[in-house]
Amino acid sequence: MQPLDATDLRLLLALAEDSTRTAVALAATLGLSRNTVQARLAGLERKGAFLPFERRISAAALGYPLMAFVHVHVHQPSLARITEDLAGLPEVVEAHGLTGDADILLRVVAADAEDLFRINKQVLAIAGVERCDTNLAMGELIPLRAAPLLRRGAGLPSPPSSDPVRPDRTPATAKAGSA
């Protein structure tokens, strides 16, 4: 993909902040003509800058509130067929090939713990899968984001970072009575 220029990055940042903006609203916000915005959006589409809408759909809203990461260890010559079999499991929403101890990292969703157990058994039943290590996601600490990269690329300042610790929770590393 060709590198994006500052105007493309500003346009993507404006969409990241509010994806419902029309071309007219984007043009007004960025000081561009509507035609320029539409041409830029079409160019970004051709360059593959936009991911499918499907990636914005919440698995929890579909009845799968539990998320886990599964490290899959496989017999390497079977990797392509194993990947095809994994793609046939609807609860496998993402898979990545890895270096290191595991061969594949899966992101899976489940209705509950029992459902996750069923999914793990299905993964383990695939010929060539040697073992799985499953980690339950307890909470999303930093959601998937691109805005900081867009700001950096466009030469825009980063907004002040907010404290990631909720005010109603004491950090695990804080000691009672410390200032």
Provide the pLDDT for residue 162. 58
Per-residue buried b or exposed e for 36-57, using 16+ beta carbons within 10 Å of the residue's own CB: bbeebbeebeeeebeeeeeeee
Collect all residues with Cβ–Cβ distance below 8 Å to 54 and sequence separation of at least 6.
Answer: none
Torsion of CA 142, 148, 150, 156, to 10 degrees: 160
Bridge partners of 131, per DSSP, are: 73
pTM confidence score: 0.81
* Domain architecture of the chain: domains with CATH: 6-50 (1.10.10), 60-136 (3.30.70.920)
Provide the pLDDT for residue 178. 41
Q: What distance in Å separates the CA atoms of residue 44 and residue 130, rounded to the nearest whole number?
A: 41
Angle at 137 between CA 13 and CA 115, to 5 degrees: 120
Per-residue pLDDT tens, the chain, 179 aa: give them.
678 999 999 999 999 999 999 999 999 999 999 999 999 999 999 999 999 999 999 999 999 999 999 999 999 999 999 999 999 999 999 999 999 999 999 999 999 999 999 999 999 999 999 999 999 999 999 999 999 999 999 999 988 875 454 444 444 444 344 43
Provide the pLDDT for residue 3. 83
Secondary structure of the chain in the HEC alphabet? CCCCCHHHHHHHHHHHHCCCCCHHHHHHHHCCCHHHHHHHHHHHHHHCCCCCHHHHCCCHHHCCCEEEEEEEEECHHHHHHHHHHHHCCCCEEEEEECCCCCCEEEEEEECCHHHHHHHHHHHHCCCCEEEEEEEECCCCCCCCCCHHHHHHHHCCCCCCCCCCCCCCCCCCCCCCCCC
Provide the pLDDT for residue 1. 62
Instruction: Give first-to-last CA distance, the chain, whole Å.
Output: 49
